[in-house]
Amino acid sequence: MTWRQVVLWRHGRTDWNVQGRAQGMTDVPLDDVGREQARSAAARLASLKPAFIWSSDLSRARDTAGELAGLTGLDVRSEPRLREIRMGEREGLTQDDVRSRFPEVYQAWQLGEDPPRAVGGEVDREVGERVAAVIGEAGAALASGEVGVLVSHGVAIRTGLCRFLGLPEEHWHLFAGVSNCAWVVLSEWRRGWRIVDFNAGSLPEPVLSDDELAPES
Q: What residue ranges do the domains of the chain occupy?
A: 5-86+123-212, 88-121
Q: What is the pLDDT of residues 25-74, one digit of tens each?
A: 999 999 999 999 999 999 999 999 999 999 999 999 999 999 999 999 99
* pLDDT tens digit sequence for 96-148: 999 999 999 888 888 878 888 999 999 999 999 999 999 999 999 999 999 99
Within a 10 A sphere around the Cβ of 179, how many other Cβ atoms?
Answer: 15
* Interatomic CA distance for residues 160 and 175, integer angstroms: 12
Report the pLDDT value the prediction gives residue 217, as an integer from 0 to 100.
44
Answer whether 146's CB lies under 8 Å from 186's CB: no
User: How does the average pLDDT of the chain come out, rounded?
Assistant: 93
Q: Does domain 5-86+123-212 have CATH number 3.30.365.10?
A: no
Distance of CA 59 to the CA centre of its chain: 15
3-state DSSP: the chain helix, strand, coil percent, rounded to 5?
A: 45, 20, 40
CB-based contact 7:45 (threshold 8 Å): yes
The residues annotated with a catalytic role in the active site are 11, 84
Give the global pTM.
0.92
Phi (first) and psi of residue 163, to 5 degrees: -65, -40
Residues 74 and 59: their CA atoms lie apart, in Å, by 18
